[in-house]
Amino acid sequence: MSSGFGAFGGVGRCYKFWIEFKKCMNEAPARELCIPAKEDYMECLHHKKEFTRLNKIEDQRRHLEVNGDGGGGGGGH
């Protein structure tokens, strides 16, 4: 993780976010300024925002299937 080495060699996928967060924590006059960097790092590790968005999209898709999509699902064309 923070070592910079990925599971299969090379640089870890979240290492750049860790470096940004660490740099912010060392240089920022207030920790609150580092919240966006921390959120980026945590999202890279756990994908919670991504999964939340995918779940909302899937819920909407199911809702449209049950209630009718009003346009036949033409793909936006």
In tens, the pLDDT along 20-63 reads 999 999 999 999 999 999 999 999 999 988 889 999 999 999 99
Token code pair at residue 40: 């980026």
Q: Residue 68: pLDDT band by 50, 70, 90 thresholds?
A: confident
Residue 31 lies inside a defined structural domain of this protein: yes
Q: Is residue 9 part of a domain?
A: no
Residue 33 belongs to a domain: yes
Tell whether 74 is covered by a domain.
no
Q: Domain range holding 42?
A: 15-67
The reported pTM is 0.66
Question: Is residue 46 situated within a structural domain?
Answer: yes
**Number of independent structural domains in the chain:** 1
Confidence class for position 71, pLDDT limits 50, 70, 90: low
Strand partners, 5: 11
Cα–Cα distance measured from residue 35 to residue 12, given in angstroms and rounded to the nearest whole number:
21
